[in-house]
Amino acid sequence: MTQPPGPGPTLPEELLLLALDPQRGKPYCRNRFLEYALAGAALAELELQGRITGQRDEIQVVDPLEPPDPLLAALMPSLPAPGKGGRGSGASAKSWVRRAARQVGGMYLESLVRQGILRRETRRFLGLVPYHRHPVAAEDVAEQARWRYTAAAQAGFPDPRGRALAALVAAAGLTRHAGDGRADRGAMRRLIRESWPALAVQRNIRRDRANQAGN
């Protein structure tokens, strides 16, 4: 049975499995919104590991040692050095999510393809422009991710990891696809407000929507 490496999937890996239609390999939300959510999930994972904190949209690195996960380790140099966070320092969570979104999204898609959890299918728009889809190859792993999320939702997301994941799912507009579709909207909004990475994701999505509406 194919399994993610290490003790279990990281938040970006878990979120990606919840965000993709397992058969069509297409995100349930816009690609760009998923990239924002994956960048936010990387920040949330680093916070859960005690490596960063965030207050008032400012990222603070509290443990600069390289995480054992190679993808998270690759992202650490893009974060402010310890003691360098603060206003005017370029350590805004919203800005970091926007800047790192495409890189983070590509890294995690590539990683799950390499692990054999997703497969990459190349198609062509109008027979000319190539694009990719990522259907699930390891159905057991994807089903486990969805089962864990549904079980956590039914229990009211009692642990910090579950709440962080739920906040990111809600920020990306994926709640009805990830669970049973009956989540209380007020509760999900509260989860976003309590999670600074999810707030950074939500603010970038709102900015994109506002820009699109203004065009």
Q: DSSP string spanning 157-187?
A: --SHHHHHHHHHHHHTT-HHHHS-S---HHH
| Per-residue pLDDT tens digits of the chain, which is 215 residues long | 333 334 579 999 999 999 999 999 999 999 999 999 999 999 999 999 999 999 888 999 999 899 999 999 999 999 987 765 445 454 899 999 999 999 999 999 999 999 999 999 987 777 677 888 999 999 999 999 999 999 999 999 999 999 999 999 999 999 989 876 666 788 899 999 999 999 999 999 999 999 888 76
Please give the pLDDT value at position 111: 97
C-alpha Rg value of the chain to the nearest Å: 17
Pairing mode, if any, of strands 121-125 and 52-55? unpaired
| Dihedral pair phi/psi, residue 70, rounded to 5° | -65, -30
Please give the pLDDT value at position 205: 97
User: Which residue reads 């509760």 in tokens?
Assistant: 187
Please give the pLDDT value at position 85: 47
Please give the pLDDT value at position 83: 63
Structure tokens at 111: 């990683």
Q: Are 157 and 185 in contact, with CB atoms under 8 Å apart?
A: no
Strands (E), 56-197: 58-61, 121-125, 129-133
Please give the pLDDT value at position 6: 44
Q: How far apart are CA 168 and CA 148, in angstroms?
A: 15
Q: Are 30 and 204 in contact, with CB atoms under 8 Å apart?
A: no
Please give the pLDDT value at position 130: 84
Mention every residue, 6+ apart, whose C-beta is less than 8 A from residue 105. 31, 34, 35, 38, 39
